[in-house]
Amino acid sequence: MMAIVKMDEKGRIQVPSGLRAELKLKVRQPLLVTRQGEGIVVKKVSRVEPMQDPLLRDFILRPLKSKVKVTKKLLDQMEEEQWSG
């Protein structure tokens, strides 16, 4: 699907409803915006299971010396805070 949209005075664009439904985008869904040449690419950011992400897995298995104990519960809480905007 391709659409022409306009940017408002605050720099916002509206993703067409058909595209939102097709990509299963939710309200406050994080989107990655990057520049590609003279254009802009917007990509859906999906949740990652901590043990599937090499950096998070390494952090969980070999945490830095810290006064805060990193647990799955803490990571889940931090992720929920990030996604709830």
Blockwise average pLDDT, block size 10, the chain, 85 residues: 91 93 88 90 79 71 65 79 71
User: Whole-angstrom Cα distance, residue 3 to residue 18?
Assistant: 10
- Residue 72 has a pLDDT of 77
Q: Which domains does the chain have, with CATH numbers?
A: 1-46 (2.10.260.10), 50-83 (no CATH)
- Residue 71 has a pLDDT of 77
The β-bridge relationship of strands 31-36 and 39-44 is antiparallel
Reference 84, options 59, 43, 47; nearest CA is 47
- Residue 82 has a pLDDT of 75
- Indicate the DSSP class of residue 32: E
- Secondary structure tally for the chain: helices H, strands E: 3, 2
